[in-house]
Structure 1
């Protein structure tokens, strides 16, 4: 299985008006669990991006003019094909991205739901009728496509987080250029391009061009790209936001997080530690919604820490393509070294390792740190790894203050036996999503999703929010008789 993509039509290519060799060349797909090359992808250059934008601009108008039921039919067929090809797509997600099989299967199903939701969007009301102070005038405000949308998707949940923007943008009549991260170019890009091609999407409406920073920069700066939807780090998001701001270009930024789970003194410790373990260790902690801070009331902190450490020690780490494990490999060595530096720095500052703290290759053990305090690296930074730092608090007010001390505001969770107390605390937390008696990693395709502060610019994905995100509002007024003015 060392070359699972060798015979595929996309091998070494990009998808842009058919399958073609990229001007930017090609690069190997490296399996993080083994370091082996398992395929070849085309890598886009600025020229590839420009060619795609020119093509997408031409194709977009006809696509937007297509009757809504025909656009919806393409989305439904894409959903069917995605599910039909689940074994191949899941295999790539496991081997290319280090996903465990359950994670890959969940991600594909969630993406299927995203496509089905997108298929329903075109039949929804597309505007509103407003009254007018002028007799005989009709005011219509309607949603019109943005035009060409550039989607820059990450490697951690590449299928879902790419399709979260691609599917509604297409359904609403936009053309799309998807730039997946080259570390997930097959699972999060080229396999999806083949799905849409076979679903009957007209040529030129979707382009899939894996690439690095140069391709992303060309996409962001292109004057004919009307909108950028970016999911990734806050540092890169700030840069993209600055460029789009200068160009007066619409931008949706879904960025990082340093998400907290608050465990009150009346919490069910078994349930809370289950949520804490899932939130911190799922997909090796490589999730923007990862539970990066465990804020636990002093009276139960020791019990919580010991039970969480016990859960961590019971988790198996290994190659998900060859064995049944809970955690697979980290995506690359740079990420592993960064995570380990955070752990070692925090231990040097006084934190205690209760479980884990070690690695072999790219396999990092699920790690529990006690005694973590504000100012330590494990408290202040987005870890993006399987680390659970525990910080103690003494009151609800202190817990809220600790949560809000971070510049991030993506997700949070609160554990308590009192739903009203949990709701009251949630109203004081500056985060786009707060889950009472659950953990921070949550996604429902129809619910608006997004962060506050350094976690995003207020954009939302999901359900009706998609309509506002991937369109612009146009005011059209109509009068039966032409207006006459004093001059």
Structure 2
């Protein structure tokens, strides 16, 4: 048997052991439509039972010695290393990842586990001053049960970056992956932690539809909801969590800008722009969705970017050497093409691409774009790069901020000028002389405006803040005197 042998998980979900489910969903390869297996789906009632069990298991897990919890996280990282090729194969076939993206994602996953292995022994509080004759302390305690709702695009790391720190800090987790990537975004994590020695009942894998998503938010035992996905769904989850007085950490959409300053190296800038727009077919929240180029370089940059786009092959990443694989499903493919054709009807011009190829979409460059066109205003989630020029730094700042999102911005060119621009814009992340897509386990990750509720992922400080509660403790040498 292989590590991810379907005999373990076919037709099942994980809740204090692998349970057979009467509800199933086929695992489909988006590039070919081939059937890769069958996952079991949970129901809302399954979630209710899992939440109760998770709350029971969490108390013992939180009381586990810090080094023992750290050992589970370290072993999980080792297992990602040992089974990297098999896990990457699933990312290629189930998520449509090209091989380099799949390998990169597995590398992020093992790094996340090793980084989180330090959390159990990280300082968990502080000594406070007090006006009274007592000790005054603030300590961090596990939140309890955490629900993690993860998307399809980077299914492994975007689930793990909440699962790993939540577990490390003594919480139990209800994991709901996107049903389209329930193996690479769910089964992989369940198997990793099962083999790493995580006690039964601490991690539950609950694939399912919107009713399951609602249930993992509303279960009374759940205290924190960590959601990565679209802004409309995130708004609904945030509203519901707020009514229930639960914390919701929301990492949502983006329409990220890459600014090319005057004097920038055009060849390098076009390479950065192509990577930012076309990595994983543009299906990344940090994808470069807007190219804002100084008027002195816009024609040269557009030509260079179009040449890059035309040279990128599209196809089946499991069977061909390609730069772009399939979009996740036909609905998304047709949505992307619809945004392109609507923008062309409004006056944009296709400098490269603009075509459906099987289950994929050619790397596309649009010129003649205005700021009211769909290709400029919307998060496309496809390999489309609209280009717009600017003349002054003030205009560039205005164009960058004229957007409901605020996730990531890249600025290419003179560092001093880039620093001045960075101080004027609203964004959760700014990368000078890099494109917009970047992530490291030790770095805080999040956006502003419609991109989410700030940095709630990555780095010890953000993770401790996200997945623990603060408790105030006072201690006196003797019972205090009171006037009653």
Range class of TM-score, shorter chain: over 0.9
User: Offset of 1:5 from its aligned partner?
Assistant: 6.8
How many residue pairs match? The answer is 482
Structure 1 residues 353 and 474: alpha-carbon distance in aligned structure 2, compared to 1, 3 A threshold: same
Once the two structures are superposed, residues 428-478 of structure 1 have per-residue CA deviations (whole angstroms, 9 ceiling, x without a partner) of 110000101100000111011100000001242111211111111111111
RMSD: 1.2
Structure 2 counterpart of 1:127: 125
TM-score normalised to the size of structure 2?
0.98
Structure 1 counterpart of 2:448: 452
Q: Counterparts of 1:478 and 1:29 in 2: how far apart (Å)? A: 56
User: Offset of 1:360 from its aligned partner?
Assistant: 2.3
Runs of 4+ in 1 over 2 A off after TM superposition: 3-8
- Structure 2 residue aligned with 1:65, among 58, 63, 66? 63
Structure 1 counterpart of 2:34: 36
TM-score normalised to the size of structure 1?
0.97
Structure 2 counterpart of 1:85: 83
Structure 1 residues 174 and 4: alpha-carbon distance in aligned structure 2, compared to 1, 3 A threshold: closer
State whether structure 2 residue 31 is matched by structure 1 residue 14: no
Q: Is 1:313–1:356's contact at 8 Å kept on the other side of the alignment?
A: yes
Structure 1 counterpart of 2:464: 467
- Structure 2 residue aligned with 1:423, among 416, 419, 426? 419
Structure 1 counterpart of 2:399: 402
Structure 1 counterpart of 2:248: 251
Q: Is 1:276–1:439's contact at 8 Å kept on the other side of the alignment?
A: yes
SS, match of residue 296 in structure 2: helix
Q: Counterparts of 1:294 and 1:62 in 2: how far apart (Å)? A: 51
Unpaired segments of 5 or more residues in structure 1?
none
Q: Is 2:377–2:403's contact at 8 Å kept on the other side of the alignment?
A: yes
Q: Is 1:372–1:379's contact at 8 Å kept on the other side of the alignment?
A: yes
Q: Counterparts of 1:6 and 1:395 in 2: how far apart (Å)? A: 57
State whether structure 2 residue 331 is matched by structure 1 residue 334: yes
Q: Counterparts of 2:101 and 2:393 in 1: how far apart (Å)? A: 34
**How do 1:143-292 and structure 2 match up within 5 A?**
143-292=140-289
Once the two structures are superposed, residues 161-200 of structure 1 have per-residue CA deviations (whole angstroms, 9 ceiling, x without a partner) of 1000000000000000110001110011112201111111
Q: Counterparts of 2:246 and 2:179 in 1: how far apart (Å)? A: 25
User: Offset of 1:230 from its aligned partner?
Assistant: 0.1
- Structure 2 residue aligned with 1:52, among 50, 53, 62? 50
- Structure 2 residue aligned with 1:346, among 334, 337, 343? 343
User: Offset of 1:22 from its aligned partner?
Assistant: 2.6
Q: Counterparts of 1:427 and 1:184 in 2: how far apart (Å)? A: 39
Q: Counterparts of 1:60 and 1:6 in 2: how far apart (Å)? A: 28
Q: Counterparts of 1:268 and 1:138 in 2: how far apart (Å)? A: 59
Structure 2 counterpart of 1:298: 295
SS, match of residue 292 in structure 1: strand
Structure 2 counterpart of 1:111: 109
SS, match of residue 297 in structure 2: helix
Q: Greater CA deviation, 110-119 or 264-273?
A: 264-273
